[in-house]
Structures are given as structure tokens and as C-alpha cells.
């Protein structure tokens, strides 16, 4: 397969793809990028110390397509791989794709067109979940047939990204960023849920955010291995990211505070329950629960799910009784 010549009339977009032990998926991912209707692309593959055939496949793809550059690094995690890729791009814009996912053939064109039409520094879309054994690039081209677009202020984008059923989330992927946002695309290393530490800061510094509803990022579910799953250490890590976001919005984006607080309240309960299930109940989290309990169960915030309101009410029983209930429920 030869690479179609890149269009000279369009600006160069860099696609960063971290790769770690995804030999089963990586070729499918790259083929979806090479099928893009937007052709002015450079593709940066960062092999994060894979121990399977992923690195070898990356090298084969570099030989196959003239717009691919492969870097092999020591295993340092998803954040480090993305940061490394950011240090080696030439494009005016950047798009992230995870190597066990894929994108519809209009994905980058839609994002770029939306960004330019609304004159923003970032454009976002949602995703479509696809079973790992049931993903066909051609079959999913119909996701691109129609979509709506809109533009929102930074606080609206932050609010949407933290909703449990929002139109888009805080993931690095499913977005296009222009070069003015590059200084903010630095992912914290040594933590999980790294995207959650970054997205709201990018939205804040962008000022406004363009949205399009194609949802043509194909997110693979029920996968046997991935960077995200291998780094997953639990809900307590997600809560810590939300805790930082809450402090940030309180100081900088007060109009987003209530929405972030609702997600924070649910993440707090999840984190504490996880600590109980692990056999090491977190006293700090319990204190936060009791400190916030009255506000949460007041019913003023309708975005906190009822099942969480019930759990907060159960904490009035006492810490020990609540922990017993949680342990029994988890068996």
C-alpha cells in the first residue's frame, strides 16, 4: 500500500499515538489514520517499551507509509509517551489517538473544519463504543454522515466534560488542538487519569471550544490489554484528579464549580468505597464525606445521581456500620 501524497493546501496536523503491548490492535489503528480524508498528516508513533510485537509492527508501518515516524522509548507510561510525542511534532495542530482504538475516515477533517469555522483553538467530539471483536473501519464510516456543530464558552466545556453522560469527556483523544494550546498539553507523569488533570486547563486557556457531534472516535471496549487498563489503579486516583479540578474551578472558573462539585461528590464516594473494599478505609476520605454530606443530600444539585444520595445518607449510621454494609454489598 502506498501513501497518497499529502495535500499542500492544508496545514500539517500531527497525530500522536502512544503504543504499548497492543500488537492485536495497532495496525488497525494506524490504518484508520491513513484512511483519513484529511491527508496533510504526520503520524508520530511512540513505542513505550512494548514487550510484544508492537514495536516491530510500528517499524513495519513506518516502512509502509511515508508520513510515519517511530520512536522507541523505555517504558514510562502513557503520559510520558504523549509528552515525548509532543516534543517531536512539526504540525500546526495535534490530534491524539490511542493505539487500541480507531477513528472514522472523516474524524480529523470534521474536527479541523469545526475548529476553523468557529475560529477556536480546540474542537471536540464524542466517541462510539465498539466491541473489540466487532470493529470494522468500513462499517463505521456511516458515523461520519451527519453531525451538528456549536461553540461554547470555557465554563460550558468544563461542565460538559465532567458530566457522567456528557456529549464529550476529558480524554485527550477526540479533540484537535492548535499550536497555541501546545504549552498546556503536558500530561502529569506517574499518575493515572492523566487526561483529567489537563482538559479543563486547556478549555480555560482556550477561551471557547467548538463541538461537533460526529462521535467518530471508535473506542474499543472489552479489550484484553491497553495502556489505560494497565495503568488503572482505581477510583481513588480519579478522585484526586477531580479534587485538583475542583480547587482550580473554585479559583478560576466559579461558574463551573457546581458542576465539577457534583462529579467530585460522586467520585469521593466511589473512592472511599474502593478503599473499604481494599481493606484499608481512608480516614481522610471519610472526613470529606461527613464534611460534605449535608450539602450533598440537600437535593439542591439535581446532577448528583440518586444512588449516591442514598449512599451519603447511609453514612449517618456511623463509619463502622457503613463499612460493614459496603463489604457485604461487594461480596
- What digits encode the pLDDT tens for the residues 245-262? 999 999 999 999 999 999
Tens of pLDDT, residues 31-76: 999 999 999 999 999 999 999 999 999 999 999 999 999 999 999 9
Compute the distance between CA of residue 198 and CA of residue 188 in angstroms, rounded to an integer. Answer: 8
28 phi and psi, to 5 degrees? -60, -40
Q: What is the dihedral of CA 223, 226, 231, 233, to 10 degrees?
A: 0
Quick check: 324 pLDDT over 90? Answer: yes
- 264 Cβ contact partners less than 8 Å away, ≥ 6 residues apart: 239, 242, 243, 245, 246
Tens of pLDDT, residues 187-216: 999 888 999 999 999 999 999 999 999 999
Do 32 and 108 belong to one domain? yes
- What burial class does residue 218 get, using C-beta atoms within 10 Å of its C-beta: 0-12 exposed, 13-18 middle, 19+ buried? buried
Of 24-33, 218-227, 233-242, the range with the highest mean pLDDT is 24-33
Q: Is residue 3 part of a domain?
A: no
pLDDT category of residue 135 using cuts at 50, 70 and 90: low
Determine the pLDDT at residue 236.
Answer: 85
Do 112 and 204 belong to one domain? yes
Q: Which of 285, 270, 193, 265 is nearest to 235 (CA)?
A: 270
Burial code of 310-328, b = ≥16 C-beta within 10 A, e = fewer?
ebbeebeeebeebbeebee
Could you say which of 183, 206, 230 is where a domain stops? 230
Q: What is the dihedral of CA 263, 269, 270, 274, to 10 degrees?
A: 160
Quick check: 155 pLDDT over 90? Answer: yes
Could you say which of 205, 230, 255 is where a domain stops? 230
Do 222 and 252 belong to one domain? no
Do 69 and 209 belong to one domain? yes
Compute the distance between CA of residue 269 and CA of residue 322 in angstroms, rounded to an integer. Answer: 12
Q: Is residue 8 part of a domain?
A: no
Could you say which of 198, 230, 262 is where a domain stops? 230
Q: Is residue 6 part of a domain?
A: no
Determine the pLDDT at residue 160.
Answer: 96
> Which helix or strand (DSSP H or E) is residue 259 part of?
helix 257-277
- What burial class does residue 74 get, using C-beta atoms within 10 Å of its C-beta: 0-12 exposed, 13-18 middle, 19+ buried? exposed
For the whole prediction, is pTM greater than 0.85? yes
Do 97 and 125 belong to one domain? yes
- Range(s) of the domain holding residue 245: 233-330
Quick check: 231 pLDDT over 60? Answer: no
Identify the CATH number of the domain in which residue 103 sits.
3.90.550.10
DSSP 108-165: HHHHHHHHHHHT-SEEE--EEEEETTS--TTGGGGGGS---EEEEEHHHHHHHHHSTT
Q: Is residue 194 part of a domain?
A: yes
Do 322 and 206 belong to one domain? no
pLDDT category of residue 235 using cuts at 50, 70 and 90: confident
Do 249 and 222 belong to one domain? no
- 316 Cβ contact partners less than 8 Å away, ≥ 6 residues apart: 293
Do 215 and 242 belong to one domain? no
Q: Is residue 2 part of a domain?
A: no
Burial code of 125-157, b = ≥16 C-beta within 10 A, e = fewer?
bbbeebeeeebebeebeebbeebebebbbbbbb
Quick check: 131 pLDDT over 90? Answer: no
323 phi and psi, to 5 degrees? -65, -35
Over range 128-133, report the average pLDDT: 79
Do 216 and 246 belong to one domain? no
How many domains is the chain built from?
2
Determine the pLDDT at residue 3.
Answer: 37
For 269, 286, 303, the CA distances from 265, given in Å and listed in that order, are: 6, 12, 10
Report the sign of the C-alpha dihedral through residues 290, 234, 219, 221, in that order: negative
Do 196 and 304 belong to one domain? no
Do 155 and 244 belong to one domain? no
Determine the pLDDT at residue 228.
Answer: 43
Do 322 and 251 belong to one domain? yes
Amino acid at each position: 500500500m502506498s501513501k497518497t501524497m499529502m495535500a499542500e493546501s492544508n496545514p500539517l496536523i500531527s497525530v500522536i499515538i502512544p503504543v504499548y503491548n497492543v500488537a492485536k490492535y495497532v495496525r488497525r489503528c494506524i490504518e484508520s489514520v491513513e484512511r483519513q480524508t484529511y491527508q496533510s498528516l504526520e503520524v508520530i508513533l511512540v513505542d513505550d517499551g512494548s514487550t510484544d510485537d508492537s514495536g516491530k509492527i510500528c517499524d513495519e508501518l513506518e516502512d509502509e507509509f511515508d508520513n510515519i515516524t517511530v520512536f522507541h522509548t523505555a517504558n514510562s507510561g502513557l503520559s510520558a509517551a504523549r509528552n515525548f510525542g509532543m516534543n517531536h511534532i512539526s504540525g500546526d495542530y495535534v490530534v491524539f489517538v490511542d493505539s487500541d482504538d480507531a477513528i472514522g475516515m472523516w474524524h480529523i477533517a470534521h474536527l479541523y473544519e469545526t475548529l476553523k469555522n468557529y475560529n477556536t483553538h480546540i474542537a471536540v467530539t464524542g466517541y462510539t463504543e465498539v466491541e473489540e471483536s466487532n470493529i470494522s473501519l468500513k462499517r463505521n464510516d456511516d458515523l461520519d454522515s451527519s453531525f451538528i456543530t456549536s461553540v461554547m464558552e470555557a465554563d460550558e466545556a468544563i461542565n460538559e466534560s465532567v458530566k457522567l453522560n456528557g456529549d464529550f469527556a476529558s480524554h485527550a483523544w477526540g479533540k484537535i488542538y492548535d499550536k497555541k494550546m501546545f504549552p498546556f498539553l503536558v500530561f502529569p507523569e506517574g499518575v493515572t487519569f492523566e487526561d483529567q488533570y489537563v482538559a479543563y486547563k486547556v478549555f480555560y486557556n482556550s477561551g471557547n471550544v467548538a463541538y461537533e457531534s460526529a462521535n467518530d472516535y471508535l473506542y474499543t471496549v472489552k479489550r484484553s490489554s491497553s495502556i489505560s487498563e494497565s495503568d488503572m489503579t482505581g477510583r481513588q486516583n480519579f478522585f484526586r484528579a477531580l479534587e485538583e479540578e475542583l480547587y482550580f474551578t473554585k479559583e478560576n472558573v466559579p461558574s463551573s464549580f457546581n458542576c465539577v462539585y457534583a462529579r467530585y461528590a460522586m467520585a469521593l464516594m466511589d473512592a472511599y468505597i474502593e478503599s473499604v473494599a481494599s481493606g484499608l478505609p481512608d480516614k481522610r476520605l471519610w472526613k470529606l464525606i461527613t464534611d460534605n454530606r449535608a450539602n450533598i443530600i440537600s437535593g439542591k444539585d439535581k446532577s448528583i445521581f440518586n444512588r449516591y444520595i442514598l449512599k451519603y445518607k447511609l453514612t449517618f449510621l456511623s463509619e463502622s456500620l457503613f463499612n460493614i454494609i459496603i463489604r457485604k454489598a461487594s461480596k
